[in-house]
Structure 1
Amino acid sequence: MTEELPLNPLEFLQGAELDTLAVRAGQVRSHEGEHGEPIYTTSSYVFKNAAEAAARFSGEQPGNVYSRYTNPTVRTFEQRIAALEGAEAGVAAASGMAAILSTCMAFLQAGDHVICSRSVFGTTTVLFTKYLQKFGVNVDLVSLTDLPQWKNALTKKTRLLFAETPSNPLSDVADIAKLAAIAHSQDALLVIDNCFCTPALQQPLALGADIVVHSATKYLDGQGRCLGGAVVGKKEHMDEVLGFIRTCGPTMSPFNAWVFLKGLETLRLRMDAHSANALQLALWLQVQPAVEHVYYGGLKDHPSHALAKKQQRAFGGVLSFTVRGGREEAWKVLDAIRVISHTANLGDAKSTIVHPATTTHGRLSGEDRAAAGITENLIRMAVGLESVEDLKKDLNRGLSLL
């Protein structure tokens, strides 16, 4: 087993800019002197003697024990994403949903109450309203932007408020500082899904949130290669999350952690490019005869534009639009594309497009979809890094049919 030697300890990176942290935070180097982060593909670790084994297992001595919960490559990713978010610590998970589940299992028990925005990823809604309620956790869904609804939903048993901002797929924006004040008035935790912005565009902890969750599968990777998730926040909170992951095993693999580390190195550059391309495309869509409405926080007519401009560096790469008509017309647009990828994932260098009502939000009831603004004529697009002119041509193949 090679000895890990500090390369850029975090104390030497205090005050460093995000771009430097994205490349350097959490790095270690073995006696081999490698420049790139190694992938530690091992399930377990060898101890020098029985005393060291006992000390490692008890936690008295730091070090690796078993890769379900201690792996150098995964640990580097955890330290790096925590540094980017301005958090004390981070915990990696097998997927974005595993990160959300692990957070809930760490802090909730039967009889507790959760307030969740209606405007979240469809599977997140199912987790809260089906599976957590099955085990005695009470859940209320409220409008993301209606602060009185959040206040009125508070009870003495409220333990957690959960929001995704900007929202999926309508780009509504939560006032994170005000939601934090509401949560803390009841000693509850505010958890923010920062998947659409990433720390390159928004840092919820600095605005008062307690915990940030990510689907690393999306923009943290940036090329659609691996599944992964992350949770960051105070060390005392992350210790609880790690306790669940250590016991129950929704763990990130070392190889996936290494892929995400490579993705983080270009995060700022990519997010700026995604945002610039999305704004250009949103402005173009606004003037297309077949388009009814465009939802993108970077547009001045979006109801959340002012708030998004205040708490985000830019507006991200995801936009949605409605076409004139219903499901049939929306599907015509999707079936006519030849360049944009027809897939539900987002955050890739490749642009993706999908019909939320029948895919990402298809498991919701019609009533819940309507409440979340998911209509049959709505199309969601995650704008990638291709030429915007080529994306316009591809969309026009379908829009010209309507």
Structure 2
Amino acid sequence: MSYKEKKRKNTPKVELHSIDSLIVGSYKTGKTRLWKEVTELHYANPEETLLLAFEPGYETWELENIIPIHEEGAGDDLWKVWYYFKNELVPELVKEAKEERVVKLLGIDTADRCIDAATAWLLKDRASKYGVKKIITLQELTEVSKGNENGYTVLHDEMKKPFEALKNAGYGKMSLAWTKEKETTLYNGMKYNSIELMMHQTGRKIFESQASLICCLFNEVAVYDKSGNELNDNLKDKRGKEKGSNFHETRTVMVFRPTEYISIAGGRYTDLPEEPTEYGSQSFLNVFEKAVKGQLKKTNKTIDVLKTEQEVELKEKVRLLAEKSEKENSDTLYIEQGDLDRNAAINSLIGKITTQVCRFNVSINPLIVPKFKQIFGDTADYKKVTDTAKLTEALVYISGLESDPPLKK
């Protein structure tokens, strides 16, 4: 196919659920509240939004549609949260999108706890794969695998797949995340403090890099004298020494562009406010609408007409992707449950074989290696085998061997 046949015109998407957005802020700055109020104002039908709660930050708000994923597990069972998300919830949502879409915008509350759940599942899965009792950190995973797997890289790959499946199925995503103050040292030794995402770099690749609009909630403080006048300079005592005032007011504002102190804000739009904006759902939607209109330089179509056209385009895109998925018998759109179960079975068998292998001294190799090659065919490296029947045969064989030569010391 000629490249000319692939050329097309792109019109900026005008619906909130047509992009990925990110709402960030420190603890208790109003992230979940903003999700609630923005979605209630923007969507007439509450069924069109769904909050995926990876933590119980929603408990003080009246919300029409939430899934309390965090209830699937905590502590040592935190891995069950991610297992449910990718094995059950994602396939159901993708199936719904192919048949008759109801939900349009998904909320992730919070992205940080989502990362924690995915990490817990990954470490449990790899502990089984490598035949160890427990892996504590992603760095330890790299060490246990002897460098064959980088913990942060495999976490990125693990998280990318279900989120890409949701995106391909036409879902928009608004993620909520925590911020922290971070000290940075420049190459010349100068240091500065800034507001950044609390998550590590791998998490930022999943959430920050894909966000077209990033809003940072920030607590701005105004200082007053006892008469209620806002101060621009510190008060001074009788000796001329600066002192703090006893009167101040804290208000939460929305920041849509990076500042000299706030680094995590901005996006792919040019018409974003330079100054902090008053916190509120209407203010947020006003900023989004103005930003969208600022990108529409070459069309005379109204926002409502573009919404209708883009909804039709989205349905057609999902339909074509569904046909392609079925034709190629692949999991382009969603993760097949059978594939997940099969991978889990493979990892479990490999882990059990590793446990058995560790019973023996290296002098047992002349006995095990030929048998494994006979089972697997020209290789004794069972960790690279994906045939569950052959792995089972190898496990039965090695489990039946006596611990002679002597056990490892």
TM-score clears 0.5: no
Give the structure-1-normalised TM-score: 0.25
Q: Which has the higher helix share?
A: 2
Relative contact order higher in (CA < 8 Å, ≥ 6 apart)? 2
**TM-score under structure 2 normalisation?**
0.25
